[in-house]
Copies of this chain bind each other. A is one copy, B any other.
């Protein structure tokens, strides 16, 4: 089977769970070794990367002042997928619009100068586009 390249575009926070489930099902079906996956978040969706409860060491429930287990689960899932080779990108314009400091993002997140440019470039490289 030819290698499959897929870009997922997420621009609303409520779409993250669906996007991550899509990715998990896709990897299980096609095989981790056969896929190149990139997720590009812009708009409101970049806030999921900046969950205040995230820490490289601890879980949400262990963090002080954190009551939103759901958000942290998303970061946990992203982190596991990143370890499996999934790339996560954040649009710098969107981060600025929400006053999010890109230096505080999880290390698996790459900041791109503009989400749309990244999405267009990947499609030009042969990536399929999917909007969960």
**A contact set with B: CB distance below 8 Å:** 2, 4-6, 9, 11, 18, 22-23, 25-26, 28-30, 42-43, 91, 93, 113-117, 119-121, 123-124, 126, 128-132
Contact = CB atoms under 8 A, between A and B. Distances in A.
A65 to B, nearest CB: 31
B22 A116 contact: yes
A26 B116 contact: yes
Instruction: State how many copies of this chain the complex holds.
Output: 3
Contacts of A2: 124
Contact of A129 (B4, B114, B117, B123): B123
Nearest to A42: B22
B93 A116 contact: no
